[in-house]
Amino acid sequence: MSTESTPTIAIADPAPLGLLGFGFTTLMLSFVNTGSFKVAEGAALVLSLALFYGGGAQLLAGMWEFRRGNTLGATAFTTYGAFWLVIWYWFNHYSAAATSNAVGFFFLGWAIITAIFALASLKTTHALFAVLTFLSLTFLFLAFGQWQAKGPFNPLNDPGLTKVGGWLGVVTGLLAWYLAAAIVVNATHKRELLPVNVKR
């Protein structure tokens, strides 16, 4: 029997990939929610990002996080990858049959899921906690915005609370990009150039 140990294969950190995919797709959808551009102007771009970058890339990142043994990263990236795939599928097949009330509960569910991740992230970095906290608030205000709109779901509705959720989503996307940049830049330079924790 051989006594040689099996060499450990190093796996690159998949978090920046997941964060960039999440951040970009969130930003694009949030700009729609803020009224920066109309649904008709950006729907194809947002849905394409939801399928390939927000959905596909995050699912891949989640699988690699499972391989690395990171329970929070694996669960969160896989969850949000699935979220974007749900958005893509729903908008392409069933959005006309939805009501604002149902969509409000849909977003509320995601707010609760995200709050669970935010609670877990308290043992990680301030930057990740900020991303998940703002995302929780984003989903919460999107839920309230749908309940404010009432009636059949219509992405062209423009209730004020949805706009608030949109701007919170913009902050969320930018924070996700910052965290991704920090991981990539700090790992490449082998020192902390972009901090992920608030200095005390």
Instruction: Summarize pLDDT for 52-69 with one digit per residue, the tens.
Output: 999 999 999 999 999 999
Domain boundaries, the chain: 15-189
DSSP notation for 1-14: ---PPPPPPP----
pLDDT at 11 over 70: yes
pTM for this predicted structure: 0.92
Tokens representing residue 36 in the block: 């920066």
Task: Tell the residue number behind the tokens 């900020």, with chain if given.
Answer: 130
Instruction: Summarize pLDDT for 103-158 with one digit per residue, the tens.
Output: 999 999 999 999 999 999 999 999 999 999 999 999 999 999 999 988 888 776 77
What gap in Å lies between CA 143 and CA 111, rounded to an integer? 9
% of the chain residues with pLDDT over 70: 94
- Reported confidence tier of residue 1, pLDDT bands at 50, 70, 90: very low
CATH match for 15-189 among 1.10.10, 1.25.40, 2.40.50, 2.60.40: 1.25.40
What gap in Å lies between CA 61 and CA 49, rounded to an integer? 15
β partners of residue 152: 99
